[in-house]
């Protein structure tokens, strides 16, 4: 197999949760550029359809945008029915969706409240989206992949799933979406660390079916951040900067393609060296 063949995804179907979001869009772009047909699962119907149109037009592949609430079993099942009706298969699943800071469901609640006063509603919702949603989507994907006797699953974790955040970099940084200062809540570290063993458990369970499961651990991505925070974060990174939105395209393509055919149960850390310290 030559280099082009290793990375060729022509004819494969890649499903990306949170595929209309900041990183999800870039995941879709690189897989579509390699020839894969794309399915975008995201919560907002209009955004899903817009991103699907953009991917289809830009890369000449089929792209299906489906509004799915990944925390709702029936919504996930309906989404997969549409995928199977359209494509009849799922070759690649990227579990990318996660609860965002700007989530409107918590209007009036402090997303960055101190641990001892942390709102239970946010804690529960974060675990529901970041872990239960991954569980529900992967269940449906595995049913398809086991029948195919092939598949690739990529679960997105975070630097803070591997190490504790350095709380000092958030000192004096205001929350742009609500009250109080920024920080990194416990639910994020807990859910993202859970992704690591979700991957390992599934990797051993699914290996007999030729289904590979790996984790991608990205570092912080720059997106309209406060300059002081960017400086604080960058000073903690050996490469001296936050990630660019496109810095994970190569890793996603590698994990999704035959270039990583002997890799399963692993955690690929791409964080500018943050976890080296």
pLDDT over 60 at 103, yes or no? no
Locate all alpha helices (DSSP H) within 91-157, ordered by sequence: 120-127, 133-148
pLDDT (tens digit, 9 = 90+) per residue, 196-252? 999 999 999 999 999 999 999 999 999 888 899 999 999 999 999 999 999 999 999
Give the residue among 218, 149, 162 at the shortest CA–CA distance from 191.
Answer: 162
Q: For the chain, how big is the Rg over CA atoms in Å?
A: 18
Summarize pLDDT for 19-76 with one digit per residue, the tens.
999 999 999 999 999 999 999 999 999 999 999 999 999 999 999 999 999 999 999 9
188 is catalytic: yes
Range of the domain at 210: 3-104+125-164+185-224+244-270
As for how many domains the chain has, the answer is 1
CATH code of the domain containing 40: 3.40.50.720
Question: How does strand 13-17 pair with strand 92-95?
Answer: parallel
Please give the pLDDT value at position 208.
Answer: 98
How many Å apart are CA 174 and CA 68, to the nearest integer?
32
Closest CA to 126 of 160, 78, 77: 160
Average pLDDT over residues 160-170: 95
User: Does residue 87 fall inside a structural domain?
Assistant: yes
- Euclidean distance between CA atoms 111 and 121, whole angstroms: 10
In a domain, 171, yes or no: no
In this structure, is residue 116 part of a structural domain? no
CA distance 155 to 255: 10
Position 139 confidence tier, pLDDT thresholds 50, 70, 90: very high
In a domain? residue 204: yes
Which pTM does this prediction carry?
A: 0.96
Residues 274/236, Cβ–Cβ less than 8 Å: yes
Q: Which backbone phi and psi does 34 adopt, to 5 degrees?
A: -85, 0
Cβ–Cβ < 8 Å for 60, 33: no
Find out whether 66 and 48 touch, Cβ atoms under 8 Å. Answer: yes
Out of 160, 170, 188, 248, pick the active-site residue: 188
């Amino acid at each position: 197999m030559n280099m082009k063949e290793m990375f060729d995804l022509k004819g494969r179907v890649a499903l990306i949760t949170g595929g209309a979001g900041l990183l999800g869009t870039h995941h879709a772009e690189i897989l579509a550029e390699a020839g894969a047909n794309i399915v975008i699962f995201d919560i907002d119907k209009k955004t899903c359809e817009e991103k699907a149109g953009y991917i289809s037009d830009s890369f000449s592949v089929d792209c299906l945008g489906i509004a799915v609430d990944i925390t709702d079993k029936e919504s996930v099942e309906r989404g997969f029915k549409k995928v199977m009706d359209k494509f009849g298969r799922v070759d690649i699943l990227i579990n990318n969706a996660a609860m965002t800071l700007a989530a409107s469901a918590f209007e009036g609640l402090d997303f960055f409240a101190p641990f001892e006063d942390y709102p239970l509603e946010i804690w529960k919702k974060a675990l529901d989206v970041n872990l239960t949603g991954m569980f529900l989507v992967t269940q449906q994907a595995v049913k398809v992949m086991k029948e195919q006797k092939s598949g690739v699953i990529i679960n997105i974790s975070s630097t803070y799933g591997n190490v504790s955040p350095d709380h000092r970099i958030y000192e004096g940084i205001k929350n742009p979406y609500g009250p109080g200062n920024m920080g990194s809540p416990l639910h994020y570290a807990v859910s993202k660390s859970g992704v690591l063993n979700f991957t390992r458990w599934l990797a051993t369970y699914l290996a007999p079916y030729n289904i590979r499961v790996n984790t991608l651990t990205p570092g912080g991505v720059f997106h309209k951040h406060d300059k002081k925070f960017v400086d604080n974060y960058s000073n903690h990174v050996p490469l001296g900067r936050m990630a660019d939105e496109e810095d994970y395209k190569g890793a996603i393509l590698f994990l999704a393609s035959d270039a990583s055919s002997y890799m399963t149960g692993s955690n690929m850390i791409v964080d500018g060296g943050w976890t080296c310290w």
